[in-house]
Amino acid sequence: MKLVILDRDGVINFDSDQYIKSPAEWKALPGSLEAIAKLTQAGYRVVVATNQSGIGRGLFDMDMLNAMHNKMHRAVQALGGRIDAVFYCPHASESKCNCRKPKPGMFERIGACFNTDLADAFAIGDSLRDLQAAADAGALPVLVLTGKGLSTQKDGNLPEGTLVFADLAAAVEHILKS
């Protein structure tokens, strides 16, 4: 199975230090939705893996998260793409759960649900915790320089073998050529 796992905030849509709390605040990054459509049309399964501690912090509820994801799904579908599933961790960072990135629990669940080894899966994120979770689960870590990506690259300590691209569109072009 051809699988790409995407972080949400900073990869697909603009990020905010105040959290994305509503569909009105959810705004796609230029080229990201088209990139997802290209993956879909090339036969890839696309899955989102996102920490959403705003739920655990009481900043928004499940209905609001679902509304944001419905907006994302509709926007991708309008361009001929599909997001096959969205996995999320609703816990605040102090909860010490296994599903919150940088721990690999969310990625392990994705592998189990799709009955696939993640060794050939690309996992695209903009933060070190995205890359660490991907690497620990055996996926191929890919850093994009959108969102927190520039500061993540500058800080260094990236997992071995991490690929780096300007944005999701550039990462997808590489994936489609490999």
Burial 32-63 (b: 16+ CB within 10 A, else e): bbbbbbbbbeeebbbbbbbbbbbbbeeebeee
Is 9 tagged catalytic?
yes
Return the SS3 of 160. Answer: coil
Residues 57, 49, 76: CA angle, nearest 5 degrees: 110
DSSP calls for 24-46: TT--BPTTHHHHHHHHHHTT-EE
- Phi and psi angles of residue 6, each rounded to the nearest 5 degrees, phi first: -115, 135
* Residue carrying structure tokens 């990869």: 11
Q: Do 12 and 72 meet the contact criterion of CB atoms below 8 Å apart?
A: yes
With CA atoms as reference, report the closest residue to 3 among 119, 109, 98.
119
Is residue 130 among the annotated active site residues? no
Catalytic annotation, residues: 7, 9
